[in-house]
Amino acid sequence: MSLHTEGTAQDFILINSPIFLVPTAKKFAGNLALLAKTTDKAEGAKIVLSKVLQAVNGALGAVGLDSPKLGSLGGAPQVDPLGETYFSVTPFRHGDYIAKYRLRPLGNSLTGLTGRKIDTEDRPDAIREDLRKEMAAIDGEWAFEVQLCRDIEKQPVEDPTVEWKEEEAPFIQVATLRVPHQDSWDDVVVQQVNEEMRFSVWTGIAEHQPLGDINRARRDTYRHSADFRATANRCPIHEPTGG
């Protein structure tokens, strides 16, 4: 399988969990089928469903039985995204090595937001509103880190539900991401990013080729989603060209 290598764009798709929800492509497809059932629901119904799932997942979490599947369908707690640490969860080539990636907030302005729950009661755009206010004043800084596979048994490629323990495979900072304070909801930029771009683990260079069963399954899934969105919005996708 070849990568999409127009220009020099490299996407890193990260989530705020060190592990993936499911171990195999078959189970991943099952989760997508569940998610697809909510895609064409009215926005109000989605909000109600999300609140119900959050309550159920919160109750399960109180006794140590929280469900990743419920979280993926909208049951995850609404915490401030700026304070979260993000992981690639699936492995990639890293030149001649195998690696996972992490983006970790630096400085009190971001780490002070870690775990802060956002009140979404009667606020349909609560997360957007809070982030817009915060980013207007914060110069954000994150460490971009690489975790190299050192033992294929302890850091498996084909099962992303197995966490690569940091004490066995430490993260190494290789770059710093700096984002100056700004309006995070500028209408022109939102249009360009939300409607005119697509993001995929398969958009990148050969040296960072996605590895494993789940990543192979994500390739056509992400492409189909982007193509559907381009058709529905009647807006072609514009790939960044780097520079």
Q: What does the pLDDT look like over 89-108, one tens digit per residue?
A: 999 999 999 999 999 999 99
Q: Which domain holds residue 178?
A: 25-182
* Higher per-residue pLDDT: 37 or 9: 9
Stretch 118-129: mean pLDDT: 91
Of 5, 13, 8, 6, the C-alpha closest to 222 is: 13
pLDDT tens-digit series, residues 174-200: 999 999 999 999 999 888 888 888 889
229 belongs to a structural domain: no
Of 203, 218, 222, 220, the C-alpha closest to 90 is: 218
157 belongs to a structural domain: yes
Per-residue pLDDT at 74: 46
105 belongs to a structural domain: yes
- The three-state secondary structure class of 82 is helix
240 half-sphere exposure, CB direction, 13 A CA radius: 14
15 belongs to a structural domain: no
58 belongs to a structural domain: yes
- Distance between CA 163 and CA 81 in Å, rounded? 22
213 belongs to a structural domain: no
| Other CB atoms within 10 Å distance of the CB of residue 200 | 19
**Domain tally for the chain?**
1
* Higher per-residue pLDDT: 79 or 46: 79
| Other CB atoms within 10 Å distance of the CB of residue 91 | 24
pLDDT tens-digit series, residues 106-116: 999 999 999 99
156 belongs to a structural domain: yes
pLDDT tens-digit series, residues 16-26: 999 988 877 77
pLDDT tens-digit series, residues 157-169: 999 999 999 999 9
- Distance between CA 53 and CA 75 in Å, rounded? 4
* Higher per-residue pLDDT: 207 or 39: 207
Return the CA Rg of the chain.
19
The residue type found at 154 is K
Of 175, 213, 212, 189, the C-alpha closest to 10 is: 175
Q: Is residue 12 over pLDDT 60?
A: yes
pLDDT tens-digit series, residues 46-70: 444 444 434 433 444 444 444 555 4
- Distance between CA 33 and CA 14 in Å, rounded? 21
Per-residue pLDDT at 133: 96
80 belongs to a structural domain: yes
Per-residue pLDDT at 30: 63
